Amino acid sequence: MIDVVMPQLGESVAEGTVAKWLVREGDFVKREQPLLEVATDKADTEIPAPQAGRVARIAAAEGAVVAKDGLLCQIDETAEQSGDAVTPKGESKQAAKAEESKPAPKGEAQGQEPKSDAKGNEGEAAPKDEAAPKKGEAPAEERSVLSTPSTKKLARESGVDLRQVQGTGDHGRITRDDVMRATTAPAPAAPPATTQTAELSQMIQAGGGFVPPIPTVGFGAYKVPPYIQKAGDEVVPFNRRRRITADHMVFSKVTAPHVVTVAEVDLHATSKLRDQHKDKFKKSGVSLTFLAFVCAAAVKSLREHPDLNSRVLDNAYVRIRAINLGVAVDTPGGLIVPSIKNADELSLLGLARGIDDVAGRARAGKTTADDLSGTTFSVSNPGLKGNLFGGAIISQPNVGILRMGEIKKRPVVVTRDGEDSIAIHPVMFMALSYDHRIVDGVLANSFLWRVADILGRGEFEL
């Protein structure tokens, strides 16, 4: 018997949620055939069968959160597929036929499926065993619902029938917010107290520490007015990625004191260099964008200013040796930030190819957990239109993020041979958001000045 366990889905991923089983108990599977889909905070992954055989037991229900190395299912590798029936190797066909004539529940306990009649109908003895849940299991109707155990517990405590709730999570998963909405009838009165309110009350009564504002509730004397739906309004539920992003952004703003500094960058030299080489890069199947130049300049400046490539611990901070550069990518499912590992070891061509690779896989939905983990610094390029500059929120646990603005031709003062003149050059504003717990203004300004200096001079190794 082979145990299929929850694998390590990324260096910072300790558990995964069983999103959907692709097989059933008794099914015969081939080696590398997908068994189930597992969802994590980073990405969704299919878990393949390590060996051909029969699925003898499914140990984790859909919606269950399973830790690394936790049991998912068991495969009987000694079983072999013969026609429509699955029998253990070495067992004679006569024994298998005799077993099929026995009552279905007994036969199923030995790992055999009920025999089908000439019309293709299965035996009718199995439902009796299936109807009675095992000790400690949730009712059968609840087990069939895609949701986490904590959400199912909340639903039972709130008297909510999960079968009547429309799930807004990935693969139709029912979230805690779905259950809370189901418990609140549409009325002009204020909604009943939520679990978040109870948590806030417990934190206040415990005493000490900072109590953060609670969304939809308020902070201190300020209370958020309840929402009353009106004709024409559209309520758009959060999907799983939007929920994770929202929680991450709130956590970052509460945790890290953000400061933003802005630099004006003359891209004349970089633009000429790009025009000279973009056709050559295109023949190699790589797009030479201004984003690639900004990333290359940021990586070089990070090596000269290692405190910007750090993370904060409880009473210390770590200067991280590897520079894993995150690049924000807008996908149909929302914004994600895959990273280019060891970006400081790459040439401009290597960086441009890396950006194309992670962005392409992100938009195709093929990003892995490792792509989204280990980032040490990020660069964001929100688009070409209506974006003079802006202060991005730091992606935790990093201490900085660089945000590009739009590139626009502007008049600039050019000095040649001691004489000033006005010229029209492509210009961009860049904004650096940094964590003031460990990054001071002098260091942040020095880092950003160096990035602008590299771009202004066009100092790049192709």
Q: pLDDT tens for residues 187-222? A: 444 445 455 556 555 554 554 455 566 666 777 788
Statement: residue 377 has pLDDT above 90: yes
pLDDT digit string (tens) for 102-141? 555 444 444 444 444 444 444 444 444 444 455 445 555 5
pLDDT value of residue 108: 45
pTM of the full predicted structure? 0.62
Percentage above 90 pLDDT, the chain: 47
The whole-number pLDDT of residue 162 equals 81
* Residue 393 · residue 415 · CB < 8 Å: no
- Residue 427 in this model has a pLDDT that exceeds 70: yes
Is the CATH number of domain 2-76 3.10.20.30?
Answer: no
Query: Is 233 a residue whose pLDDT tops 90?
Result: yes
CATH superfamily of 244-457: Chloramphenicol acetyltransferase-like domain (3.30.559.10)
Lowest mean pLDDT among 88-97, 252-261, 324-333: 88-97
What is the distance between the alpha carbons of residues 161 and 329, in angstroms, rounded to a whole number?
Answer: 38
Element (H, E) at 350: helix 348-363
- What pLDDT shows up at residue 151? 77
How much is the pLDDT for 317?
Answer: 96
* Domain ranges, ordered by start, for the chain: 2-76, 244-457
The overall average pLDDT reported for the chain is 81
Residue with tokens 């009106």: 230
Set 3, 161, 275, 436: catalytic member: 436
For the stretch 397-408, pLDDT in tens is 999 999 999 999
Cα 361 from Cα 62, distance rounded (Å)? 27
Residue 297 or residue 154, greater confidence: 297
Matching CATH topology for 2-76 and 244-457?
Answer: no
Residue 171: active-site member = no
Half-sphere exposure of 37 (CA within 13 A, CB side): 10
Residue 25 in contact with residue 35, Cβ under 8 Å?
A: no
155-184: per-residue pLDDT in tens? Answer: 877 788 888 887 777 667 788 778 877 776
Residue 206: predicted pLDDT: 53
Active site residue 440: yes
